[in-house]
Amino acid sequence: MALTLLLLVPIVFLFLKHFLFGARQLPPGPNVLHVLGYLPQLIYKPHIALQKLAKIYGPLLSFHLGIQLMVVASSPDTAREFCKTHDRVFSGRHLPTVYHNLPGTLDSSIVLSPECSKSWKLLRSIGQNCVFSSKAMETNARIRKAKVMDMLTLLRAREGQVVHLEDVMFATLANIISSALTSRNLFDIEGQETNDYKAMMALVNEVIEKTTTLGLVDFLPILKVIDFWSKRKAMDMCRKIKLTWGDIVNERRTSAKHDNPSSTKDFLDIVIADGAFSEDQIGNALMELLIGATDSTTITTVWLMVELLKNQEMLSKVRDEIAQTVEGDELSESLLSQCHYFQACIKETLRLHLPAPLLVPHRAIETCKVNNYVIPKDSMVLVNAWGIARDPKYWEDATSFKPERFLASRISHRGAHFEYLPFGTGLRMCPGSSVAFKNIQLLVGSLLHYFDWSLPNGKDLITIDTNEKYVTTLKKEKPLLLIPRLREQNLIG
């Protein structure tokens, strides 16, 4: 009720400013009262609510939440307008007050940088050289291999026991990216309790939610005079980020004074040597890269396992392909990339279970005209990539898992096809899309090749539920609990 009243406060202001003086130039959309009717869905299932609104108002729509103008693209053509034709204009990020209160966020972000600034370009370049480029991925192949072997050793030790698959995937991916960034593990995957993974996953979820989800004060700036909660949330996050990365950064700063200048430098070495970044800025950058490398990829590996375990015929095809990639007793990462059916299964999982259904919100850095409508400066622009990926206009049998649709298709995950944007596109496309794809194929390929999987209490695998929950990213609602059993014909070396 209080939220409803707060949203009704700016009605007069909006009427005067946006209706009497040119609202007709904005894209069509629901009025304030209609938005109020959709409010619960917009909060808890925004991708579905926006899909429904697009069916009423069209593929380019707008509406107000408080005084904030929201603009939504719900078709490949409108997505292209924002992310290609006018890419630079919509390359800003719309960020909540909590983010701006977090110490060190200024000039320390790749994904959430408010604009494509010099520091954004510098950090993205360092990340490209150390993690994202083809050369870096080849160099880091040994890291992926070693961390996946750690995972397999853990699973072999837990053979016959119930395993929380999301925890194991997260810990493995966290160690892969942490080793690439700082040359050290974040977890002792065999020795640490799963509570350690859960605590870090909770922090990841907290940072994602609080740095990307707008609150009341963002929709109603008048509340800033009494806003004490945003700063408190930001300082609490800052403390947790320091606990995660502070010692690592400080140790490296000290050891950097005595390092051999000819030794191989990782991401942390380079940002410290640059001298332009504070401890808070480095910690925030490391946290952001950790999130980017773990959250969406963990979600995708879980959904891929669900879809394949529920369909044994597909699973058999994938296993037959993977078996051809074995060199000695290990999977070959390069040969896995040639498993066309397995690759199609990964692509289809990213289509049907898009981790970031609305991508990361864009912001208009200046007023722009799109499809004869005016998009004012500072509008918040959402691309409903989830809705586009499930639209029957572009996908046959759109809500079914059908990897075959990608076998004869040239559609890829690299952002060139606007009906399929799992990693976004344009200037603000996820820089780690190729790394994520490699991680998914190696992790899931290893899980399927070396182990058979069953449900607790002997339940049929077909009964695995596929319900989702939205918390900025779109995850499986209930944890995937499975029992691994080593496949004797594929013993781990």
Annotated binding site: 430
Of 195, 146, 197, 194, the C-alpha closest to 186 is 197
Q: Does residue 187 sit in helix, strand or coil?
A: coil
What DSSP string describes 42-71? HHH-HHHHHHHHHHHH-SEEEEEETTEEEE
Please give the span between the terminal C-alpha atoms of the chain, in angstroms, as a whole number: 61
Of 252, 304, 255, 271, the C-alpha closest to 443 is 304
**β-pair type (380-383, 68-73):** parallel
Q: Does residue 238 sit in helix, strand or coil?
A: helix
Is the distance from CB of 214 to CB of 96 less than 8 angstroms? yes
Q: Strands, DSSP E only, in 268-370?
A: 326-327, 330-331, 362-363, 368-370
For the chain, what is the radius of gyration of the CA atoms? 23
- C-alpha to C-alpha distances, 398 to 78, 341, 408, 421, nearest whole angstrom: 20, 19, 17, 15
What DSSP string describes 364-396? -SS-EEETTEEE-TT-EEEE-HHHHHT-TTTST
Specify binding-site residues for heme.
430
Residue type at 89? V
Is the distance from CB of 54 to CB of 62 less than 8 angstroms? no
Q: Does residue 312 sit in helix, strand or coil?
A: helix
61 bridge partner residues: 72
The pair of three-digit structure tokens given for residue 304, joined into one six-digit string: 């891929």
DSSP 77: H
Is the distance from CB of 75 to CB of 19 less than 8 angstroms? no
Question: CA 353, 462, 439 angle in degrees (round to 5)?
Answer: 40
Of 207, 373, 360, the C-alpha closest to 285 is 207
CB burial of 141-164 (b: ≥16 within 10 Å; e: otherwise) equals: eebbbebbebbbebbeeeeeeebe
Of 236, 234, 243, 235, the C-alpha closest to 215 is 234
- C-alpha to C-alpha distances, 287 to 108, 230, 282, 344, nearest whole angstrom: 10, 19, 9, 31
* φ and ψ of 362, to 5 deg: -95, 165
Q: Dihedral angle at the C-alpha atoms of 165, 167, 169, 175, nearest 10 degrees? A: -160
